[in-house]
Amino acid sequence: MDLVEKKVTVLGLGKRTGIATVKFLINKGANVVVSDVKSETELKEELMELNDYEIEYDLDGHSDKAINNTDMIVISPGVPSQISILQKAKRLGIPVISAIELAYHFCAAPIVAITGTNGKTTTTTLTGEIFNATQDEVVVGGNIGRPLIRDVNNLSSKGAVIAEISSFQLENIEEFRPKISLILNLTPDHLDRHGSFEDYIEAKKKIFSNQQGTDYTILNYDDPVTRELADDTHGTVVYFSQKEEVEYGLYIENGEVINNLTAEKEIFIEVDEIGIKGPHNLENALGAISIALLSDIEPEIIKDVVREFNGVEHRIEDVAVIDKVRYVNDSKATNPVSAMKALETFSEPLILIAGGMDKKSDFSEFADKVAENVKVLILLGETADEIEQSMKSLGFNAIKRINTIEDAVKVAVDISIAGDLVLLSPACASWDMFSSYKERGQKFKKAVFDLRRQ
């Protein structure tokens, strides 16, 4: 892809991907236009970071400046593909690609791409740890950490890219072809963006749309939606399962991980040895181990890392035990299924803090799980009314309504007794009250730590 003197529009000046994309394009010789719906005042910090670059701006909405004589448009993940300026660009025949597609064209190293509704970050992080234990040239990023566009140009063919890829990033790919793709699971999510579960699945399927027989597509056999995607990929299909023996992949039998991928029914590791706990994390570990084995990493190195890895921040993260009450931060549970998996992890009496931005999720199954597992439910955010109605329809009335995460912790302190577990697992996105799930989790942890000082 030759970008010298090409006019390229970056749609969406996000702090992470947008800025990194602009800098990359300019360094490749492109003439860059930045188009964003936000004003100059709203983008003050981002514009300061780009102050030394020669850029044409199209702010306060996307005008025709974004498409006039434009050779290509690169969109940031937060920009919906359905907006009118992009539809107009496509009618004009202007290529519209995602930043992840742009990164692919300049990446000499093989790419491992990981997606799914839940568990992506944990699996990507664990996979990255395994690769980092055996080689020097490893980039871990994408939908977590650093945007891939910042680092891929510096990798040789001997390196490796471990990328968490979201449905938003996959919407506008054309040639993106990972050596190994992994889909962990698929349940309804981001329906406010995609419109339907079917469209969400179609976006996720693009992760393997360009794979060939020499590539690998790893699928979760226990998830029926994911399992059925096997017929849609041209990659070599690898399964993992906690419930069934699989012919080519990994599965669980008698508390052991069985390797039927690079060996024949070989005991690879005891489930109890795996550092991250719970059925959802076993799913994540099986995915990461499958990737590592397919990448010819020494089994003993894989085992050592898997034993030592304890998870990621904001995902079932132990925060503190205060007055014999355990506090756990699961702020990364941004949809009902993720929160349900967290509820299945614990045996202690649960006080659950939930609620947040409305992504048009269905809370009926979540309500059933809460009624079954939770002692008291503390609600906040846009979805509080909807979740409360779902709970009351089941006859569950142990509900507290609050306005801030700090108040949620205070209420939890008042109603908890020794042996209880206070769990922040919102089942919703954070953007109605916070800049990200990370900020939500950090505020929760600070409120818990402040209890020690009272």
**Is 122 flagged in the annotation as binding?**
yes
CATH homologous superfamily for 7-94?
NAD(P)-binding Rossmann-like Domain (3.40.50.720)
Q: Phi, psi (5° rounding) for residue 16?
A: -95, -75
**Is 233 flagged in the annotation as binding?**
no
**Is 120 flagged in the annotation as binding?**
yes
CATH 3.90.190.20 for domain 317-451, yes or no, is yes
**Is 145 flagged in the annotation as binding?**
no
Residue 85: Cβ-neighbour burial (10 angstroms; 0-12, 13-18, 19+) = buried
Distance in angstroms (rounded) separating the CA atoms of residues 454 and 452: 6
Given this model, what pLDDT does residue 448 score? Answer: 94
Given this model, what pLDDT does residue 193 score? Answer: 66
Which class does domain 101-308 fall in? alpha beta
Given this model, what pLDDT does residue 19 score? Answer: 93
Q: Give this prediction's pTM.
A: 0.76
Given this model, what pLDDT does residue 378 score? Answer: 98
Judge if 101-308 and 317-451 fold alike in CATH terms. no
Give domain limits for the chain: 7-94, 101-308, 317-451
What are the per-10-residue average pLDDT scores of the chain (454 residues)? 95 87 96 95 92 94 93 90 91 94 95 93 93 92 84 90 92 94 87 78 95 98 96 97 97 97 96 89 96 97 94 85 92 90 87 93 94 96 96 96 96 95 95 92 94 70
Given this model, what pLDDT does residue 453 score? Answer: 64
**Is 287 flagged in the annotation as binding?**
no
Task: Kindly state the tokens that stand for 41.
Answer: 């005042």
Q: Are 287 and 296 in contact (CB under 8 A)?
A: no
